[in-house]
A and B are shown apart, each in its own frame.
Chain A
Amino acid sequence: EVHLVESGGGLVQPGRSLRLSCEASGFTFDDFAMHWVRQAPGKGLEWVAGISWKGANIDYADSVKGRFTISRDNSRNSLYLQMNSLRPNDTALYYCAKDTRSLPDGGLSNWGQGTLVTVSS
């Protein structure tokens, strides 16, 4: 069974940094693209970033480009999101999600339970 467990969220002041992690199990991690998707309280879903199976293809939402960095360590079955220069409107529940394909262009078949990031002074 696929399991995705996010960690690293918390309360942070505007302008500071945070690093999210996602530990994967139950599937061959390096066969699949992975993504981060966020959901602000009471709002809809927003794709944040995606990375292909080997990490060669990486893309970001315009709202986080230049501030966030997605990465993966296939030897550790782990996905990461380094978030710098955080803003109050980055406040959201951040989900790690598994793609159905090796390139980041398929449906998101499995999701973690999310880690909450709150940006506030």
Chain B
Amino acid sequence: DIQITQSPSSLSASVGDRVTITCRASQTILSYLHWYQQKPGKAPNLLVSMASRLQNGVPSRFTASGSGRDFTFTISSLQLEDFATYYCEQSYSTPRTFGHGTRVEIK
């Protein structure tokens, strides 16, 4: 199975800060990496698919890049509504695997 190492597991940041989350796969996954946001009591929401494709309606302050094993997700200027848990997920091979999540908290 492909392991995904997501870091950090949590971070504290202020509104307006730049936030970066990384995911590293245990082997190449080409661009089969997706990013989700989950707020408490809600279902996850797909923000980015295939490593860098921002989904319709997702604000441009969210960006993502990477290929192969290393991937980065960035929020350029954190807003109040961005405080949530973020997950990456690989779909290159089954079983699909998620990172353990990054909880973004208010500083």
Residues of A within 8 A of B (CB): 35, 37, 44-47, 50, 59-62, 95, 100, 104-114
CB-based closest 4 A-B pairs: A107-B49, A111-B43, A107-B34, A59-B94
Return B44 CB to nearest CB of chain A, in Å: 6
* Chain B hits for A105, CB < 8 A: 32, 91-92
Contact A108 B98 (CB under 8 A): no
Q: What are 11 pairs between A and B in contact, CB < 8 Å? A: A44-B87, A44-B101, A45-B36, A59-B94, A62-B1, A95-B44, A100-B46, A107-B89, A110-B46, A111-B45, A112-B43
Contact A50 B46 (CB under 8 A): no
Which of A50, A95, A110 lies in contact with B94, CB distance below 8 A? A50
* Chain B hits for A61, CB < 8 A: 95
Question: Bound complex: CA of A62 vs CA of B93, how far in Å?
Answer: 13
Question: Bound complex: CA of A95 vs CA of B43, how far in Å?
Answer: 8
Return A51 CB to nearest CB of chain B, in Å: 11
Contact B87 A108 (CB under 8 A): no
Total count of chain B residues near the partner, CB < 8 A: 25
* Chain A hits for B94, CB < 8 A: 50, 59-60, 104
Given the interface pairs A44-B87, A45-B87, A47-B89, the reply to whether A108 lies near B46 with Cβ below 8 Å is yes
Which of A62, A100, A104, A113 lies in contact with B43, CB distance below 8 A? A113
Contact A47 B95 (CB under 8 A): yes
Question: Bound complex: CA of A45 vs CA of B36, how far in Å?
Answer: 10
Given the interface pairs A45-B98, A47-B98, the reply to whether A107 lies near B50 with Cβ below 8 Å is yes
* Chain A hits for B43, CB < 8 A: 95, 111-114
Contact A45 B44 (CB under 8 A): yes
Question: Bound complex: CA of A111 vs CA of B40, how far in Å?
Answer: 15
